[in-house]
Chains A and B, each alone.
With several copies, the nearest count.
Chain A
């Protein structure tokens, strides 16, 4: 029989971030390999043999704005494609700024921005084909923008006006567009990760060619449905890309609480024999490169891939949140991976297809475009003003056909 009394008493470990408000931001513990130095294995590599990719950071653009290394070489995007990508990111950022402002003016109840994370959703979408389906969280509106979903539709939903495509039923940023490969966002975290796997399984069962992409945040990987998704994806080799956006924070909780003792979130995938890559989420080209690698695996029926995007949530969690209460305000500036828009801009300038002037001009154009669209949307209505979806809509779509008890309630409500 062991004698526990011979040892000191136990104590509980509660992980803490390196710094709290008042402290000096310090990311020196984040090991960042130089761009271009991480190898690019073939897409059918044995997951055990590419374990290292789950513990490093795949990066393409170096400080000089050059695209370097094997991941850069495998890219087949033209400068025009990249200019379009830049425009997507700029659009998302400006849209976010406008909507944040609109929320302060009480034109909408609630908003969530992407500041600093634009490259991930804007970039990933480029690897998808029509018919593919994203199962996004609330921080991937770039998927919609890159897929050409009209900003005006997004705004109508944000403003909960009469043209809201969700007919007033959903939260502002919980968009849905089947046509644009964007599954209806759930307010419940992680539930859709396994749904994405089911969707991919359905495509495989049907002998189709569509693939899906699951999205989750660092904090939400702790949810149990994350496990369900990995189990099913691993067992049935579902054609799905399992994306984890590690933006360092889950509301006020730093990523160490969800990650615990594992080195990275990508490591989770390895426990299931799923090839797992870790990538610089602020490097648009790196995002394109890994997205291409992972979607090719899925399309070639090689099964799931996990991608951890290393990034930083530069803004508050939502308009209900003030991050200065739990992290130093300067932390965002100290983040070593830079700004995704600036980095792509520099690359394009380096390529000789872009300039500061043209950038400023594009910014002005986009702002004008968004402002015009916003005017039109606001003319229809905003949360407390103008025209809204009819309350009759409240009773529709609960079922395909309204059952008698609901019809009775609708009458009782006066409709």
Chain B
């Protein structure tokens, strides 16, 4: 199997999808000739021509709005928003249009579109290159929301998303593009080629939407997380000495509640972890669901570890980011509750 970065895996997924289905079209700011500021679409224009992969004007509402029209026509647009922080101008098109097209037309018009965007912090990107807006999508019915944590999943999930008959928000943790990152920003950078999940099968395969995966088996507590934080959680489990089970949700909506409930019912303790700001983050939904489903199994209050409720600051990046030390400390406190 080929070793790939997450960028290469995403590009490969797009290549496989475009090769298999002429209806797949890819566009966004700088994605055409140049191949995207993170190079996720590099080479696609040269291979498939500039009407299948092209640059757009800088107008996120236009990108998504045009994509909706194309999807309704019968194409399968995979659009890129350059950073998740810039998705808000497109929010109306996503919420009021893409998410409701099937419903309000009683199935006459549908929106099989994927909206890809780099998400999360860890690159000193400050307020406008670091945000994690997933909760703003999970609250919107009609959307599916996906966050891969490694190249193998990224390709398989993206192929599932492209095949999906409904709009999918595909959030790519940019700090994972080039290698797994466990929050130890002061240690040497590791590359995907040293990681098992950097092995990406060739050609077409899928990782199904709505299925979580247990990344680490454990008995003492469950960590529910996704994206970059999966790696932080694994580091924290190792460093805290707490035998935590780490669940990589992969798809936030629809959520694989079965896997979640099974784990928490077993461990009796639950830590919810994400980079996004705490209040009304997706962790709130996870905590609300878990306390409802696993109430009688819970031996301690569910803890949430998340980004502080401030804008994502530039210089303070590592005070802001919920790194392994903070997670480990929370884990220890979680298992100490008698």
Partner of B72, one of A174, A199, A393, A397: A199
Q: How far is the CA of A413 from the CA of B319 in the complex (A)?
A: 8
Asked if B240 CB lies within 8 Å of chain A CBs, one says: no
Are the CB atoms of B25 and A205 closer together than 8 Å?
Answer: yes
- Measured CB to CB, the closest approach of chain B to A185, in angstroms, equals 8
Are the CB atoms of A206 and B314 closer together than 8 Å?
Answer: no
Are the CB atoms of A409 and B278 closer together than 8 Å?
Answer: yes
> For chain B residues 270-290, which have a beta carbon within 8 Å of chain A?
278-279
Are the CB atoms of B75 and A205 closer together than 8 Å?
Answer: yes
Contact with A along B88-106 (1 / 0, CB 8 A): 1100110011000111111
Cβ contacts under 8 Å, B279 to chain A: 405
Asked if A340 CB lies within 8 Å of chain B CBs, one says: no
> For chain B residues 213-227, which have a beta carbon within 8 Å of chain A?
none
Give the secondary structure class of B's interface: loop
Are the CB atoms of A403 and B37 closer together than 8 Å?
Answer: no
Asked if B309 CB lies within 8 Å of chain A CBs, one says: yes
> For chain A residues 107-166, which have a beta carbon within 8 Å of chain B?
109-110, 133, 135, 160, 164-166
Asked if A83 CB lies within 8 Å of chain B CBs, one says: no
Partner of B308, one of A166, A184, A189, A409: A409
Asked if B129 CB lies within 8 Å of chain A CBs, one says: yes
Partner of A20, one of B33, B102, B108, B278: B33
Are the CB atoms of A326 and B34 closer together than 8 Å?
Answer: yes
Cβ contacts under 8 Å, A229 to chain B: 62, 65
Partner of A222, one of B30, B57, B88, B278: B57
Which among A63-71, A91-99, A245-253 touches the partner chain? A245-253
A250-B58 contact, Cβ under 8 Å, with A187-B127, A225-B65:
yes
User: Which residue of chain B lies nearest to A166 when distances are taken between CB atoms in the complex?
Assistant: B106
Are the CB atoms of B30 and A400 closer together than 8 Å?
Answer: no
> For chain B residues 146-188, which have a beta carbon within 8 Å of chain A?
164-166
User: Which residue of chain B lies nearest to A172 when distances are taken between CB atoms in the complex?
Assistant: B314
Are the CB atoms of B108 and A184 closer together than 8 Å?
Answer: yes
Q: How far is the CA of A397 from the CA of B52 in the complex (A)?
A: 29
Asked if B66 CB lies within 8 Å of chain A CBs, one says: yes
A188-B104 contact, Cβ under 8 Å, with A170-B126, A205-B25:
no
Q: How far is the CA of A222 from the CA of B60 in the complex (A)?
A: 9
Cβ contacts under 8 Å, B243 to chain A: none
Are the CB atoms of A169 and B29 closer together than 8 Å?
Answer: no
Asked if A7 CB lies within 8 Å of chain B CBs, one says: no
Chain A interface residue count, CB cutoff 8 Å, equals: 85
Q: How far is the CA of A212 from the CA of B70 in the complex (A)?
A: 11
Are the CB atoms of A398 and B58 closer together than 8 Å?
Answer: no
Are the CB atoms of B50 and A109 closer together than 8 Å?
Answer: no
Partner of A164, one of B58, B103, B164, B315: B315
Q: How far is the CA of A177 from the CA of B86 in the complex (A)?
A: 25
Partner of B93, one of A168, A191, A232: A191
A397-B102 contact, Cβ under 8 Å, with A186-B128, A198-B67, A224-B61:
yes
A223-B58 contact, Cβ under 8 Å, with A184-B104, A253-B29:
yes
Residue of A184, A190, A197 ringed by the most chain B CB atoms within 10 A: A184
Asked if A11 CB lies within 8 Å of chain B CBs, one says: yes
Are the CB atoms of A171 and B126 closer together than 8 Å?
Answer: yes
- Measured CB to CB, the closest approach of chain A to B46, in angstroms, equals 11
Q: How far is the CA of A233 from the CA of B137 in the complex (A)?
A: 28
How many CB-defined contacts (below 8 Å) exist between A and B?
262
Partner of B34, one of A14, A325, A393, A395: A325
Are the CB atoms of B103 and A405 closer together than 8 Å?
Answer: no
Partner of A394, one of B34, B62, B89, B320: B320
Asked if A6 CB lies within 8 Å of chain B CBs, one says: no
Cβ contacts under 8 Å, A176 to chain B: 104-106, 108-109
Q: How far is the CA of A169 from the CA of B105 in the complex (A)?
A: 8
Partner of B128, one of A167, A171, A222, A413: A171
Which among A290-298, A372-380, A383-391 touches the partner chain? A383-391
- Measured CB to CB, the closest approach of chain A to B262, in angstroms, equals 14
User: Which residue of chain B lies nearest to A404 when distances are taken between CB atoms in the complex?
Assistant: B254
Are the CB atoms of B73 and A202 closer together than 8 Å?
Answer: yes
Asked if A37 CB lies within 8 Å of chain B CBs, one says: no
Cβ contacts under 8 Å, B125 to chain A: 109, 171
A258-B96 contact, Cβ under 8 Å, with A188-B86, A199-B69, A391-B319:
no
- Measured CB to CB, the closest approach of chain B to A112, in angstroms, equals 13
Residue of B29, B65, B107 ringed by the most chain A CB atoms within 10 A: B65
Asked if A220 CB lies within 8 Å of chain B CBs, one says: yes
Are the CB atoms of A195 and B97 closer together than 8 Å?
Answer: yes
- Measured CB to CB, the closest approach of chain B to A216, in angstroms, equals 10
User: Which residue of chain A lies nearest to B38 when distances are taken between CB atoms in the complex?
Assistant: A320
Are the CB atoms of B57 and A219 closer together than 8 Å?
Answer: yes
Q: How far is the CA of A146 from the CA of B108 in the complex (A)?
A: 20
Are the CB atoms of A169 and B254 closer together than 8 Å?
Answer: no
Q: How far is the CA of A252 from the CA of B85 in the complex (A)?
A: 20
Asked if A231 CB lies within 8 Å of chain B CBs, one says: yes
Q: How far is the CA of A227 from the CA of B60 in the complex (A)?
A: 12
Asked if A228 CB lies within 8 Å of chain B CBs, one says: yes
- Measured CB to CB, the closest approach of chain B to A265, in angstroms, equals 12
Cβ contacts under 8 Å, B291 to chain A: none
Are the CB atoms of A405 and B25 closer together than 8 Å?
Answer: no
Partner of B51, one of A11, A169, A172: A11
- Measured CB to CB, the closest approach of chain A to B281, in angstroms, equals 13
Are the CB atoms of A228 and B127 closer together than 8 Å?
Answer: no
Asked if A406 CB lies within 8 Å of chain B CBs, one says: yes
Q: How far is the CA of A160 from the CA of B316 in the complex (A)?
A: 9
Cβ contacts under 8 Å, B93 to chain A: 191, 194, 225
Are the CB atoms of B55 and A205 closer together than 8 Å?
Answer: no
Asked if B32 CB lies within 8 Å of chain A CBs, one says: yes
A195-B89 contact, Cβ under 8 Å, with A11-B51, A178-B109, A404-B257:
no
Asked if A257 CB lies within 8 Å of chain B CBs, one says: yes
Q: How far is the CA of A23 from the CA of B75 in the complex (A)?
A: 34
User: Which residue of chain B lies nearest to A185 when distances are taken between CB atoms in the complex?
Assistant: B104
Q: How far is the CA of A296 from the CA of B22 in the complex (A)?
A: 28
Are the CB atoms of B58 and A397 closer together than 8 Å?
Answer: no
Name 20 A/B residue pairs within 8 A (Cβ), A-sorted: A160-B315, A174-B126, A187-B128, A192-B97, A197-B65, A198-B73, A199-B69, A199-B72, A205-B25, A205-B75, A228-B65, A228-B66, A251-B37, A252-B34, A394-B320, A397-B107, A403-B210, A404-B210, A413-B308, A413-B319
